[in-house]
Structure 1
Amino acid sequence: MNLQAITFVQRQISINDIIGLSIALILFVLFDIIFAKIFNRKFVLLYLISAEVILMASWYFGIDLLTIVTGIALGVGLTFFLFANMNEARVFIANSMKGKASFQLFGHKKDETKPEHIFDREAMYKKIETAVVTLSKQKIGAIITFEKKDSLNDVIKSGTILNAPVVPELLLTIFYEGTRLHDGAVIIRDDKILAASVYFTPTTRPLTGKFGSRHRAAIGISEITDSVTVVVSEETGRISIAYDGELQAVAPDTFLKVFEEYMAIAKAPEDENEDSEPKPSDKPEEHK
């Protein structure tokens, strides 16, 4: 090893180096925490941390080319990811501004209870069953999202506001291929069809099996809210329910029971174990 290499390895750490590295480390950690809270993408977080470590190391050791290349890769990667997942960022920011997210950086959560609208849930669920089973028999593609605790006001803006009562015939009309509103999702809040033709950002996760655009959109909205989304395949008439980032195929004769179970699941506090709330089992291996 020559003198230059020895000097490179044994470089003295100055006060400025310590201050610079400390500031960079604090900023990176804060950014990673915020990023993890908004997007919850482990593989992207690993990419961020790896790039940040390389960036700090190359800067400290004076490897300018590696610093520039890593900085560009980090910036381009983040820009691409943010554009691809803009909807999740909008939902988080909107909820934070309304005080619903209370900027949950360190696990503290503001009470976001809202007055419960009283209506005949059993009667409404039976209407949903009638509509979904009919859509399945006629192989009419549909995606219906039911708002629970997390507000869907932000994504509703992309659709057409209806504020109509839940009626099976209306749902069938909306999703009939010849109508203007048949593309996109219907959002139901309590016993009202709040909006139609609403578009969700589809999931970016690699999925096993054959999934259509409706299924990917349903999984996407279930990853960022506690909503329950029912999907009917226009190719097979198959019924599926998306919740918490997962998709379950449901037979028409058991739809009402399984749907009620999903709607009854309460959102668990973030500091509790994710498995604290039981979910319906028998998830399928593939979906069409």
Structure 2
Amino acid sequence: MIFGFNIGFLEVSFVDVLDIALVSFLLFQVYSLMRGSVAVRIFVGFLSLYLIYLVVRAAEMELLSAILGQFMGVGVIAAIILFQQEIRKFLLLLGKTTSFNSENGFLSNLPWKKRKRGDEFNITPLIEASKSLGGTNTGALIVLSKGSELKFYAESGDSIDAIVSKRLLISIFNKTSPLHDGAVIIHKGRITAARCVLPVTEKDVPAQFGLRHKAAIGMSEATDTIILIVSEETGQLSVARNGTIFHNLSNQEIRSKINEYLSEDTKEKSKDSKNESSPQEVVQ
């Protein structure tokens, strides 16, 4: 036993302590991903069932052990089915933080890894369109992606492939337009699709937010995107990013958030200090 000690009749080694610490850390990360969602209750129920199975098996209750054992035998498959959204979020988080994918990783200095300035685009038409839509209380949902083309979500709507312009966005979200119901996806300065269906978050959100805001939060949880929301009820502008929604923003604040997203590195950024005039930040 390496670097071990005894607790009564138990022999505990350094590897055992490390094993327990890693499992605790993993469980904490799983809880963080599921916190506030229905998946927490499912996880607690699944864990309770497993504990009951252990007690029943220890008590040598053969019939009940056999019945519960059938559930435990397909436990991994059941967990994948029940927690597919959480597993997706975990893998997405892992992929975003790995050094191979990071712009600050050890591969980022290679010539072909340099970020192309051509990926940037003028967001002024987007800001002006959102201002006009908010002024007329016209609801809108706009997804901006700097990396993935989001083909899965784009295929749920109608393909457009057009340069971003104020008039085009206003026309799309006009209440009489057949394309207004759904989201617009923008990638590398072009509108790739409209009337797209976005995933809705399972977390509890304030009552002031409707389905459009829930879809924006869900999309920001599932993908590395920033989503601009124009409320149809109040005309207020909001931005969703990484499961967090910033509510009631000014045009300048919208511009700042989008520019920060488009130009940010994958390293962790310190958040701006809050002041009395800052927008409400709703953390989900």
What TM-score do the two structures reach when normalised by structure 2? 0.66
The alpha carbon displacement at 1:256 in A equals: 1.6
Task: Select 2:33's aligned residue among 31, 36, 40.
Answer: 40
Is the Cα–Cα contact under 8 Å of residues 200 and 220 in structure 1 kept in the other structure? Answer: yes
SS of structure 2 residue aligned to 1:146: strand
Q: Distance in 1 between matches of 2:163 and 2:86?
A: 28
The alpha carbon displacement at 1:69 in A equals: 6.8
Deviations 1:228-281, CA, capped at 9 Å, x for gaps: 00000011001000001010021234322233223333334xxxxxxx323455
Q: Distance in 1 between matches of 2:72 and 2:182?
A: 35
CA-atom RMSD in angstroms = 4.1
The alpha carbon displacement at 1:119 in A equals: 3.3
Cα distance change, pair 166–81 in 1 and its aligned pair in 2 (3 A)? same
Deviations 1:56-83, CA, capped at 9 Å, x for gaps: 443443444487479779989x979958
Q: Distance in 2 between matches of 1:283 and 1:226?
A: 22
SS of structure 2 residue aligned to 1:134: helix
Is the Cα–Cα contact under 8 Å of residues 126 and 166 in structure 2 kept in the other structure? Answer: yes
Q: Distance in 2 between matches of 1:141 and 1:157?
A: 22
Q: Distance in 1 between matches of 2:184 and 2:86?
A: 19
The alpha carbon displacement at 1:194 in A equals: 1.0
Greater strand share, structure number: 2
Cα distance change, pair 40–155 in 1 and its aligned pair in 2 (3 A)? farther
Q: Distance in 1 between matches of 2:136 and 2:81?
A: 39
Mapped pair 1:278 → 2:270: yes
Q: Distance in 2 between matches of 1:153 and 1:112?
A: 22
What TM-score do the two structures reach when normalised by structure 1? 0.65
Task: Select 1:145's aligned residue among 138, 143, 146.
Answer: 143
What residue ranges of structure 2 are gaps of 5+ in the alignment?
Answer: 1-22, 104-112
1:70-81 correspondence to structure 2 within 5 Å:
none
Task: Select 2:212's aligned residue among 211, 214, 224.
Answer: 214
1:191-202 correspondence to structure 2 within 5 Å:
191-202=189-200
Mapped pair 1:251 → 2:270: no
State the partner residue of 2:237.
Answer: 239
1:8-27 correspondence to structure 2 within 5 Å:
none
What residue ranges of structure 1 are gaps of 5+ in the alignment?
Answer: 1-28, 269-275
Cα distance change, pair 150–134 in 1 and its aligned pair in 2 (3 A)? same
